[in-house]
Amino acid sequence: MPNSVQFNEALPNISKSLEMYQRGLQVQSPITQTLAKGPGQFSKGVAPVYLQKGKGARVWDVDGNEYIDFNMGIGPLSLGYCIPEIDDAIQAQLKDGITFSLMHPLEVELAEILNGIIPNAEVVKYSKTGADVTSAAVRIARAYTGRDKVFCCGYHGWHDWYIGITSRSGGIPEGIKNLSFTFPFNDIESIKNALDETVACVILEPFIFEKPQNNFLQELAEICKANGTLLIFDEMWTGFRIALGGAQEYFGVKADLATFSKACANGMPLAILTGRKDVMSLFEKDVFSYTTFGGEALSLAACKATIEYMQKHDVIATLNSKGEWIQNEYNKLVSYLGMSEITSCVGYPCRSMLTYQAEGQNPLALKTFMQQELLQKGILWGG
């Protein structure tokens, strides 16, 4: 058959979205609080710009159009929008209060749960964003080792120590930029050659879409230990997704420190730092990392309820089985259409990505076209 598919559905009317966007441009800078949610990530003039509500896997934009959401809040909605068990836990806590003048029992109760499911969670610290806890992890690693340099691989937030080595490093002193270095994923030799007694920590996402090869994570842990360098897993995407205990559980590798957010509280703002007690004890005296809303009770209640829901319904198995089906069916379809050399679905079932590698073609144009055609089918997809 010919390698083409005909879509006849009309594109959604997004006039209210576009009007709201113009209003936002007058009073906001930047226009989006999360880069991955911004209009530059979606088909301009075709995709909605603002969503109004969600339920389960479906969302509605400000024009009333309904979509199946393949983005799920850019990661945090591991169970779906407005899950009754999670919402009930939030509402029950809301009746008692949100934040208090002293610590709340949920801080202890949740830490005990995390201690039982995350391999390195000897002790636990809370904050509000992934950037908060990755930065806290790097700071305490520097304090513990007495070293300054950081090796990193992946995306680790907006704070100076990391974003200073990217193209958007305005406002960051050169001295800070000169302390962080990147390395290629799966390239153990590059780390062996560069690691020395000046490196405080190696921080990385255990995987993004490329899978670890040749016991990369296990060997990395051994190299770091031998060098007196702390290993930090940034588990914003892997935590509560590849396994309940994250990549440490899945790959059988224990990091000195690990950071979590996104999927842990089904959309509520919570970030978690777990780690060795001897390292984390420095927060008690030498290292300062506190925030007013770190113990905010609604998010703690949501996290506790989310973990309990995941355990009761075996959500991890469901994520992987459905993700595997999508990967396999997509790759079978493109093979059937004779397009395997142009596009494929790669990564792990719980976090996959479509790739475009057509020679002589613009990958972003191909992605934009696919977004546009999926919108006609009522699917909101970011790529």
Under 8 Å between Cβ of 148 and 142: yes
Q: At what angle do helices 105-117 and 297-313 cross, to 10 degrees?
A: 30
The catalytic residue among 21, 50, 155, 330 is 155
> pTM of the prediction?
0.94
Residue ranges of domains in the chain: 15-69+315-380, 84-313
Predicted confidence (pLDDT) at residue 62 exceeds the cutoff of 60:
yes
- Determine whether 155 is an active site residue: yes
Predicted confidence (pLDDT) at residue 220 exceeds the cutoff of 80:
yes
- Cβ density class 339-351: b for 16+ within 10 Å, e for less: eeebbbbebbbbb
The catalytic residue among 125, 128, 149, 262 is 262
- What gap in Å lies between CA 275 and CA 271, rounded to an integer? 14
Q: Which two tokens stand for residue 286?
A: 């030498």
Which is higher by pLDDT, 8 or 343?
343
Express the helix, strand and coil content of the chain in percent, nearest 5 each.
Answer: 40, 15, 40
Q: What is the pLDDT of residues 124-172, one digit of tens each?
A: 999 999 999 999 999 999 999 999 999 999 999 999 999 999 999 999 9
- Cβ density class 51-86: b for 16+ within 10 Å, e for less: beebeeeebbbbbebebebebbbebbbbbbbebeeb
Tell me which of 59-68, 268-277, 340-349 is least confident: 340-349
Predicted confidence (pLDDT) at residue 9 exceeds the cutoff of 80:
no
Residue with token string 């690693």? 141
Q: What is the pLDDT of residues 72-99, one digit of tens each?
A: 999 999 999 999 999 999 999 999 999 9
Q: What pLDDT shows up at residue 4? A: 40
Predicted confidence (pLDDT) at residue 6 exceeds the cutoff of 60:
no
Band of residue 383 on the pLDDT scale cut at 50, 70, 90:
confident
Helices (H) and strands (E) in the chain, counts: 13, 13
- What gap in Å lies between CA 278 and CA 256, rounded to an integer? 10
Has domain 84-313 been given CATH number 3.40.640.10? Answer: yes
Q: What pLDDT shows up at residue 358? A: 72
Q: What does the CA dihedral 182, 186, 187, 188 come to, rounded to 10 degrees?
A: 100
- Determine whether 234 is an active site residue: yes
The catalytic residue among 234, 250, 309, 348 is 234
Q: Which residues pair with 126 in a beta bridge?
A: 272
Predicted confidence (pLDDT) at residue 221 exceeds the cutoff of 80:
yes
Predicted confidence (pLDDT) at residue 10 exceeds the cutoff of 90:
no
Q: At what angle do helices 297-313 and 84-96 cross, to 10 degrees?
A: 150
Band of residue 1 on the pLDDT scale cut at 50, 70, 90:
very low
Q: Up-side HSE of residue 79: CA atoms within 13 Å toward CB? A: 24
Q: Residue 367: count other Cβ atoms within 10 Å of its Cβ.
A: 20
Predicted confidence (pLDDT) at residue 217 exceeds the cutoff of 90:
yes
Q: Average pLDDT, stretch 259-267?
A: 97
- Determine whether 126 is an active site residue: no
Same CATH fold assignment for domains 15-69+315-380 and 84-313: no
In 3D space, the residue among 294, 327, 374 whose CA is nearest the CA of residue 48 turns out to be 374
In CATH terms, 15-69+315-380 corresponds, of 3.90.1150.10, 3.30.420.40, 1.10.287.470, 3.40.50.2000, to 3.90.1150.10
